[in-house]
Amino acid sequence: MNFSIVNKKADRGFVLPAIAFIILSLVQCTPKHQVVSSFQAGTTADNSKKGLKDYYKSYFPIGVAVNMASLHGPDSALIVKEFNSVTPENDMKMGPIHPSEDVYNWKNADDIVDFAVCHRIKIRGHNLCWHNQEAAWMFKGVDGKPVTKELLLKRLKDHIFTVAGRYKGKIYAWDVVNEAVDDSDDTTQIYRKSNWYNICDGPDFIEAAFRYAHEADPQAKLYYNDYNSEHPVKREKIYKLLKKLVDDHVPIDGVGMQAHWKLNEPSPNELRKALDEVTSLGLKVQFTELDITIRLPQPKPAPGATPGATMPPAPDPGYTPELEAKQIAQYKMAFDIFRQYKKFITSVTFWNVSDRYSWLDQRGGGLTGGAAAGANTPRTVRKAYPLLFDENRERKNAYWSVANF
């Protein structure tokens, strides 16, 4: 037996982790990235040191969308305890980060990356090409007229090279293209008629964005991200888009299913079907923006009503025990299925931290639905109560339906 080889292996087994440990220890958190400790996450409901990420250690990373308020306020302790992946809620989108040709706003995006690196949390980049929160200047020339396809793609390439290039090695996955599929029931209309689509006279920008992103950061995992991906009509359209990308050898690793869900949608079968379909293409899946609103559907105007007429909002009962029970059941159903598909799922991310603040609360000025305090309280904000932590950042019962399995 050659002991020297055995010893060398043993040495390496000890030395390499030791070096890695020393290097990691040198990555210091600056004072601004230390968590706000006035709040101790989970102290009332549960004293264990475990967070949701620990319950899911052998399944997939558990992420959360973050912004400046959550990073620098009491949410920060909860983020570090419960999650091991973050997505910037707004700060890497094209408009906010690149408001004019020669201007990049790095401050907030850098802050999020530094926070995550300091706490050894994974980072998903969101996003490189979208029709919303877009950089409007990109679509116009100096004369104010729409640019040519060539110039638009050049601008897209510069943008992606600059942003993905800056965070190379730190952001492990990017939502490269967001929401490029049409929402209507017209099955022949696959692509959304956005500025991107119209100026390029077709969907070429999608493939281009993936190729630029891959060139800018060859190690990053690249995702196509969309909502209603379990809805039967939209699911088929997304499938067609993905199949074309795969057939054309476009560098795509997976699909982001946003998962802005309702108490009764999707059904377990719809969710399984969506997963089966995209994974049959050899793609991975990330649930990228999970929340389950308790908002009830709004009344629809009666047939024959004046076009554009709106109905008064449905009564707003608040977070009742009945709605809570339905939300618990929907969360349980979703995570039961996620665990069954763990070999395909590479992360599950919640969109916001707790019910104290959800992007859903403000949507439509509260007139598109919602549920808030007493019916007699007029409120413009109708709360959606869509997350696993309540308004005091305590774990809800829905949390335990996901953590206890």
- Residue 134, helix vs strand vs coil: coil
Verify binding: residue 39, ligand XIL, rule CB under 6 A: no
> 206 CB contacts (<8 Å, ≥6 apart)?
129, 177, 180, 224, 241, 245
CA quadruple 319, 322, 327, 328: dihedral sign: positive
Residues designated as active site: 179, 289
Q: Which residue of 33, 78, 88, 89 would you call a contact of ligand XIL, by CB under 6 A? A: 89
Verify binding: residue 87, ligand XIL, rule CB under 6 A: no
Written as six digits, the tokens of 398 are: 């829905």
Rounded to a whole number of angstroms, the minimum distance from the CB of residue 64 to ligand XIL is 12
Q: Which residue of 76, 84, 194, 258 would you call a contact of ligand XIL, by CB under 6 A? A: 258
Rounded to a whole number of angstroms, the minimum distance from the CB of residue 177 to ligand XIL is 11
Verify binding: residue 361, ligand XIL, rule CB under 6 A: no
Verify binding: residue 131, ligand XIL, rule CB under 6 A: no
Written as six digits, the tokens of 182 are: 């049409």
Beta bridge partners of 62: 348
Please say which residue, 147 or 180, places its beta carbon nearer to ligand XIL. Answer: 180
Please spell the DSSP secondary structure of 320-375, one letter per residue.
-HHHHHHHHHHHHHHHHHHHHTTTTEEEEEESSSSTTS-GGGGGGGGTT----S-T
Please say which residue, 90 or 298, places its beta carbon nearer to ligand XIL. Answer: 90
Rounded to a whole number of angstroms, the minimum distance from the CB of residue 349 to ligand XIL is 11
Contact track, ligand XIL, 172-191, x by CB under 6 A: ------x-------------
Question: Phi then psi for 303, rounded to 5 degrees?
Answer: -60, 135
Verify binding: residue 96, ligand XIL, rule CB under 6 A: no
Rounded to a whole number of angstroms, the minimum distance from the CB of residue 301 to ligand XIL is 26
Contact 220, 164 (CB under 8 A): yes
CA 351/CA 187 separation, integer angstroms? 29
CA 253/CA 368 separation, integer angstroms? 35
Rounded to a whole number of angstroms, the minimum distance from the CB of residue 306 to ligand XIL is 30
Q: Which residue is nearest to ligand XIL (CB)?
A: 359
Instruction: Return the residues of window 284-313 that contact ligand XIL according to CB under 6 A.
Output: 289
**Size, binding site for ligand XIL by CB under 6 A:** 6
Verify binding: residue 355, ligand XIL, rule CB under 6 A: no
- Residue 3, helix vs strand vs coil: helix
The residues binding ligand XIL (CB under 6 A) are: 89-90, 178, 258, 289, 359
